[in-house]
Amino acid sequence: MMIQVDEEGMYDIGFIQDTRDPAIVEKAKEDCYSSSNKSILNGRECPQEYDGWSCIPHTPAGEVASIPCPNFITGFDENRFGFRECFENGTWFRHPHGNKTWTNYSTCVDLDDFELRWNVNLIYKGGYMLSLVALIISLCIFYYFKSLTCTRIQIHKNLFISLVVNNFLWLVWYKAVLEDVKVTAGNPVWCQVLHLLVHYFMVATYFWMFCEGLYLHTILVVTFLTESRVMGCLYIIGWGIPAVLVVLYAVCRSSSTTGETIHCWMEESSYLLVLSIPVCISMIANLFFLFNIVRLLLKKLPSVNGGQTNTPHSSIREKSSFKLKNFRKNTLSRDDSQEPSGSSGRTKKAVRATLILIPLLGLQYIVTPFRPEPGTPWERFYQVTSAVVASGQGVCVALLFCFCNGEVISAIRRKYNQCVMTKRRSWQPCSGTTTVSFSRSSLMQHQHSTQPHIQLNQQYVPQPESEVIIPPSNYYQQVESVNNQKSVLL
């Protein structure tokens, strides 16, 4: 992999960033030139000069100066050396592009590490693109079918929206900032605003994952629930709290005088704790919700699958059982009738619930803070795994909670059957030798039959007007509903 140099002799590589304050750079330049007249060499030599990163000492003609790699450049190994060639005539090497004196720092880059970072960035960008497409399709499905308007789907919509905007902004960040060194060096205002937007929607995504866990836990624990009031609280948690945190973070960091506002705010800062601590708390809470949800599943599954006894509190238990069944049907998206009964069946259901809820609650991020030491064999595995997990979450949740969701599949099937039936009805006037007559008895018995009583005559036979019965306006919808009840979903 090559390190490109632009026309001005600058390194065109997204990972190489000067992390120093401009005042420090100017001071280093003055110190270098103030001592340039203190040469101890006799004869022809190349003069001492400052190249922007290092002070190149006086070097005899025909020799090569070795310069320690700067430790303030992200991506450089400070144990390596750069070099600059001094010609026989006492002049420094000039780069063909720009005709300026140039120091070769390409040896400072660990090419294996650079290739790893490059490939990890490609994984991030590819995963974000796939997640973006999957999430947009999921949102189109959720908003198109009006039947998908329950509270749980509303929470899914908000989580998907936060993921869509977050993924899109990360793609913009990679393209407009990381791949353009001049942007980070110039530190424009739009770059700083983009940094804040990226972090806002990233924090909002974590808090909407917390809302998912909070709601699932609440509907299994609380018997009576006011859905509208719950959604109002979740909107405040999902969108309001991240806004407050990001504003607080922006105020604190912008007022810093320690050089933390340069390079589009990409450098590590202690003010990031304003965002990371609440996110960690939400992850711990989601972990508690997951354990308690699985515990409730294991506890209530026998009573849901078995019979119910009549007790003074049977109605409350029936409501709780109904919510549990609805939770299992639409969240786990499987038909429990095909599962084995007994402890093994309950264990499988609990394991399946755990595996499915992990990406929804974002619990895969719990392992990412435990980063291996740089240079260890596990670092490469950690980098690739983190990239796949972070960028692929959108695809995972869209697949599990939209494309494989029981309600979504049922809504799509109903729409498909409705389109097929409408198309069949539109073809009937064109067949001049076929008539359809409905008998009164067939209309009374359609609830017990999957097919209406239809007589197809190959020749037109006029019938008395009194014997012709027009089916009700919702007849086709009723027949379709009966057919759908017999369909086995996931």
Above 70 in pLDDT, residue 15? no
Q: Tokens 């209530």 correspond to what residue?
A: 300
How would residue 128 be classed by pLDDT, with cut points 50, 70 and 90?
very high
* pLDDT of the residue at 325: 54
Tokens of 117: 């970072």
CA 441 → CA 253, 320, 445, 449, 455, distances in Å? 77, 40, 6, 12, 13
Please state, for a pLDDT cut of 90, what percent of the chain lies above it.
Answer: 27
Task: Name all domains of the chain by residue range, CATH numbers in brackets.
Answer: 4-108 (4.10.1240.10), 111-409 (1.20.1070.10), 431-483 (no CATH)
Q: Please tell me the least confidently modeled range out of 239-248, 296-305, 461-470.
A: 461-470
CA nearest neighbour of 475 among 433, 429, 435, 444: 444
Return the top range by mean pLDDT from 19-23, 74-78, 161-165, 432-436.
161-165
Q: What residue has token string 């203190």?
A: 38
Hey, what amino acid is at 141? I
Q: How confident is the model at residue 406 (pLDDT cuts 50, 70, 90)?
A: confident
Predicted confidence at residue 400, as pLDDT, reads 87
- More confident: 133 or 348: 133
The predicted-structure confidence for 189-206, as pLDDT tens digits, reads as follows: 999 999 999 999 999 999
Q: Residue 60 burial by CB count (10 A; 0-12/13-18/19+): exposed, middle or buried?
A: middle
pLDDT of residue 380: 85
Q: Share the mean pLDDT of the chain.
A: 76
Alpha-carbon distances of 304 from 297, 300, 407, rounded to whole Å = 10, 6, 21
Q: What is the mean pLDDT of residues 407-417?
A: 90
**Res. 149: pLDDT tops 90:** no
What is the C-alpha separation between 282 and 276, in angstroms, rounded? 10
pLDDT of residue 314: 39
End-to-end Cα separation, the chain, in angstroms: 48
Confidence of residue 39 (pLDDT cuts 50, 70, 90): low
Residue 371 pLDDT exceeds 80: no
Predicted local distance difference test score (pLDDT) of residue 372: 78
What one-character-per-residue DSSP string does 397-446 give?
A: HHIIIIIT-HHHHHHHHHHHHHHHHHHHHHHGGG-TT-EEEE-HHHHHSG
Rounded CA separation 487/446 (Å): 17
pLDDT score of 302? 58
> What pLDDT was estimated at residue 124?
94
Helix or strand or coil: residue 490?
A: coil
Band (pLDDT 50/70/90 cuts) for residue 362 is confident
Of 337 and 238, more confident: 238
Mean pLDDT of 356-362: 79
The more confident residue out of 205 and 480 is 205
- With a cut of 70, say whether residue 13 has pLDDT above it: no
How far apart CA 477 and CA 452 sit, in angstroms, is 12
Count CA atoms closer than 13 A to 405's CA, side-chain side. 22
Residue 61, pLDDT > 60, answer yes
Over residues 360-369, the mean pLDDT reads 74
The two three-digit tokens of residue 477, written as one number:
């919808």
Residue 36 is predicted with a pLDDT of: 65
Residue 3: pLDDT band (50, 70, 90) is: very low
Mean predicted confidence (pLDDT) in 92-121: 86
248 vs 455: CA distance, rounded Å: 73
Q: Mind listing the pLDDT tens digit for each residue in 244-263?
A: 999 999 999 988 877 778 88
- Helix H segments across 222-256? 227-235, 241-254
- Sorting pLDDT into bands at 50, 70 and 90, what band is 336? very low
**What's the pLDDT at 242?**
97
Determine the Cα–Cα distance for residues 28 and 56; give it in Å rounded to an integer: 12
The yes-or-no verdict on residue 338 having pLDDT over 50 is no
* Interval 278-311: pLDDT, tens: 999 999 999 899 888 888 877 776 554 444 444 4
Query: Could you tell me which residue, 313 or 168, shows the higher pLDDT?
Result: 168
The least confident of 73-87, 209-223, 325-339, 389-403 is 325-339
**Which helix (H) or strand (E) element contains residue 11?**
strand 11-12
Q: Taking residues 464-469, what's their average pLDDT?
A: 41
> Does 365 or 187 have the greater pLDDT score?
187
Most confident of 125-134, 186-195, 393-402: 125-134
